[in-house]
Amino acid sequence: MPDPNDKNPLNVPGNYYNDLSCIDCDMCRDLAPEFFMRDEEEGLTYVWRQPLTATEIAKAEEARLACPSETIGNDG
């Protein structure tokens, strides 16, 4: 379960976030690269753009639900 108190500081403000327990598996970046990006220095993923439309939200949700480490949160 994502920890809202341990959010990656690189996440842009909004409902979706990735916490710092990310295992850097590429799943979310493969499914929704328009929202998730890898921080090469830390080896962790963060949300670089929030989904806005219903289609984008569905894609971000697909990535969130597929996350094997359950580190993607949605505060919406």
For 56-67, give the DSSP string.
HHHHHHHHHHH-
Question: Closest Cα to residue 14, out of 47, 44, 36?
Answer: 47
The mean pLDDT value for 11-32 works out to 97
The mean pLDDT value for 6-16 works out to 98
Q: Which domains does the chain have, with CATH numbers?
A: 16-74 (3.30.70.20)
Q: At residue 55, what are phi and psi to the nearest 5 degrees?
A: -65, -45
pTM for the full model?
0.94
Mean of the per-residue pLDDT values of the chain: 97
Residue in the structure block whose two tokens are 């979706």: 16
- pLDDT (tens digit per residue) in 24-54: 999 999 999 999 999 999 999 999 999 999 9
Question: Which CA distances in Å does 25 have to 14, 21, 67?
Answer: 23, 11, 9
